[in-house]
């Protein structure tokens, strides 16, 4: 299934049904009077968050959505049926905006959370409603209320406790596949991850947290380089960012400069995202070159007041200490989560 995280919808509620103009015409009943029924209310447009969905793909193929209109009133004081509401299910984490103004209309962050964005038109009253002592045979009724329509922009932001950040091939997919059941594509070339993925990480058989892996970010992403900033929004809901750094390429590449470059890209995308606390993770410690360069790189980060966690997703070295640090930051000290 394709991962679609942005769609534009043209949504409209249902028009209200018109009231009816009618009079009783029954044998042996003289001057039967008005008997026009009311029209039915138009259907609303309702959005519901569902944990069973992970993409907006279905809505991409149905960009025009309209609720059912109310039925017209009928004679013999019969009221028209109300139009059915249009219920649109979206993944948890979907933000709904006005496509014209950019205003946020709803942010669905919990399973089964509901929001009515467009109200259906009211049903018009039939002529039976307007009979008075001075006007016993009204020959008019109300039309149905107008529908509401709007152009909407839906953006999915993954709900995760921990987000993985780093250059392509920094080891993000390897880490999430090591600690969870997620199985992203892993290969020795850049941008093997082209769509975000989520994994549930079990911590000491007691608690769990959700980890998000997004495609690698490179310098110039804010100008469209690589996959650009498109997927950075999926880290905005993360409480903690793991910044994965690969030093096995030294001395051909400067990992410190790369770390600073990615940090600048975060700031260019969102100051709030750049302000999130980061845990620096040195990956691929099973490689001889990484082991050789690790002391110097660790010293530089510690001079900046940043604690470093070396790991190897291949051997599992350092993974437990990293999970303990994540648990401490999410819930307190490791022993406090039991």
Residue 142: other Cβ atoms inside 10 A? 19
User: pLDDT tens, 75-121?
Assistant: 999 999 999 999 999 999 999 999 999 999 999 999 999 999 999 99
Decide: 330 and 238 in contact? Cβ < 8 Å: no
Compute CA distances 33 → 126, 171, 188, 190, 309, whole Å.
Answer: 13, 81, 84, 80, 85
Mean pLDDT of the chain: 86
DSSP tag of 195: S
pLDDT at position 300 is 94
Please name the residues in contact with 299: beta carbons below 8 A apart, sequence gap of 6 or more.
none
pLDDT at position 295 is 94
Alpha-carbon distance of 222 to 230, in angstroms, equals 9
Provide the percentage of residues in the chain whose pLDDT is more than 70.
87
Task: Output the CATH code of domain 6-156.
Answer: 2.70.210.12
Give the strand pairing for 308-310 and 278-283: parallel
Does pLDDT of 27 surpass 80?
A: no
User: pLDDT tens, 279-295?
Assistant: 999 999 999 999 999 99
pLDDT at position 293 is 93
DSSP 81-116: PPPPPEEEEEETTEEEEETTT--EEEEE-STT-EEE
Residues 195-218, mean pLDDT to the nearest whole number? 79
User: pLDDT tens, 114-149?
Assistant: 999 999 999 999 999 999 989 988 999 999 999 999
For the chain, what are the domain ranges? 6-156, 162-337
Residues 47-65, mean pLDDT to the nearest whole number? 90
Decide: 184 and 177 in contact? Cβ < 8 Å: yes
Q: 162-337 sits in which CATH class?
A: alpha beta
User: pLDDT tens, 167-200?
Assistant: 888 888 889 988 987 665 544 544 444 567 788 8
User: pLDDT tens, 223-260?
Assistant: 544 445 667 777 888 889 999 999 998 888 899 998 99
Does pLDDT of 334 surpass 80?
A: no
- Residues facing 107 on adjacent strands: 95
């Amino acid at each position: 299934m394709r991962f679609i995280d942005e769609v534009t919808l043209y949504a409209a509620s249902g028009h209200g049904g018109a009231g009816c103009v009618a009079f009783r015409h029954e044998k042996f009943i003289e001057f039967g009077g008005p008997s026009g029924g009311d029209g039915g209310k138009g259907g609303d447009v309702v959005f519901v968050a569902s944990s069973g969905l992970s993409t907006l793909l279905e809505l991409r193929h149905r960009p025009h959505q309209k609720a059912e209109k109310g039925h017209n009133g009928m004679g013999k004081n019969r009221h028209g049926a109300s139009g059915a509401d249009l219920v649109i299910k979206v993944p948890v984490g979907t933000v709904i905006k006005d496509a014209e103004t950019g205003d946020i209309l709803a942010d669905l962050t919990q399973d089964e959370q509901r929001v009515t964005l467009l109200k259906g038109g009211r049903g018009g009253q039939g002529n039976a409603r307007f009979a008075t002592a001075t006007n016993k045979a009204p020959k008019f009724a109300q039309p149905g209320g107008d529908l509401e329509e709007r152009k909407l922009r839906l953006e999915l932001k993954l709900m995760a406790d921990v987000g993985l950040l780093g250059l392509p091939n920094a080891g993000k997919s390897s880490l999430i596949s090591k600690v969870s059941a997620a199985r992203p594509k892993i290969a020795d070339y850049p941008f093997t991850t082209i769509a975000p993925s989520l994994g549930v990480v079990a911590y000491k058989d007691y608690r769990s947290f959700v980890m998000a892996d997004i495609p690698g970010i490179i310098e110039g992403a804010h100008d469209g380089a690589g996959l650009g900033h498109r997927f950075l929004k999926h880290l905005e809901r993360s409480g903690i960012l793991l910044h994965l750094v690969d030093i096995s390429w030294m001395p051909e590449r400067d990992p410190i400069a790369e770390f600073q470059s990615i940090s600048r890209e975060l700031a260019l995308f969102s100051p709030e995202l750049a302000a999130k606390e980061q845990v620096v993770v040195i990956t691929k410690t099973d490689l001889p070159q990484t082991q050789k360069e690790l002391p110097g790189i660790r010293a530089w980060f510690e001079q900046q007041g940043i604690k470093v966690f070396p790991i190897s997703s291949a051997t599992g070295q350092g993974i437990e200490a990293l999970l303990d640090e994540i648990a401490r930051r999410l819930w307190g000290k490791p022993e406090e989560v039991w």
